[in-house]
Amino acid sequence: MEIRPLHSLFAAELLGADLSRNVSPALHDIVEQAMAEHAVLVIRGQSIDDEAHIRFSRAFGPLELPPNLGIPSMNKRLRRELYDASNLDSDGRLLEADSSRRRYNRANNAFHTDSSFNDMPTKWSLLLAHVLPPDGGDTEFVDTRAVYDDLSQDMKARLEGLEAQHYLWYSRERAGLTGVTEEMRRLMPPVRHPIVRTLPSGRKALYIGAHASHIVGRPVDEGRTLLEELYDFATQPNYVYSHVWRPGDLLIWDNRCTMHRAAEFDDLTHERDLRRTTINEYGSERASTED
């Protein structure tokens, strides 16, 4: 197995791994070490089924199961353990232009952090390519460790101790989703997270993104101005790695220190079938909407 960097700041590829088998101690160690250093890792050339994808993910932490969001056809196509990151409906057909799921998915075009809208101890997301469009549909990443390192000392002092509210429906409604009901809001209430996280390595990272609605204890407009300033700084091209998908890519990223977004493609014409697991640092396997 070989690790090759893909960007000057972060992201790497792992060559020579076989994920169709049980995870060996050697594979486990090399993935953990690569993720600690690079935060984004693509494992090339995998032709594995959902069962192998889930088995590999569980070797690194308990699964975060998809929540009940109260949206028709969400996650009806796949196994309970998988997030459906496709543009397909429950029957495997392209989503219609005015479907609620397609409008829900539009928020994924803004830089965000998976699961920041719940209070479970998120670790990684693992996204596997099954069907890809002929053009577009890349996934872009930001290393928020490098972003934090480059902030001025004044800004770092300003952020010390601040918390942001993260709210799923804030990001979705901002991207054009309508019809969010009170029951949907009850199922996924807002949560708070520190704007600066300290990672297991001791390194610090910004924890922001499209789900961050405002800063707790500050006037909403003032807090949003600061969050937008941080977002604009973090998404400068030098901090961004754009992943051009290949068939069989399994792409892993650390939700604690990266943001990502899906690039545009012709989603009304071409299929893009990607399936994701998300794992937590610890705890039982459950959805955020379960008691």
Domain at 2-287, CATH from 3.60.130.10, 3.40.309.10, 1.10.3660.10, 3.30.430.20:
3.60.130.10
Cβ 44 vs Cβ 256: under 8 Å: no
Closest CA to 85 of 57, 125, 55: 125
How do residues 278-291 score in pLDDT, each as one tens digit? Answer: 999 999 999 999 86
Delimit the domains of the chain by residue range.
Answer: 2-287
End-to-end CA distance of the chain: 41
Cα–Cα distance measured from residue 172 to residue 87, given in angstroms and rounded to the nearest whole number: 16
Torsion angle defined by CA atoms of residues 76, 78, 81 and 84, in that order, rounded to the nearest 10 degrees: -80
Write out pLDDT tens, residues 74-121: 767 899 999 999 999 989 999 999 998 899 999 999 999 999 999 999
Sheet with 139-143: strands ordered across: 240-243, 139-143, 258-262
pTM over 0.85: yes
Q: How far apart are CA 115 and CA 236, in angstroms?
A: 23
- At 290, the amino acid letter reads E
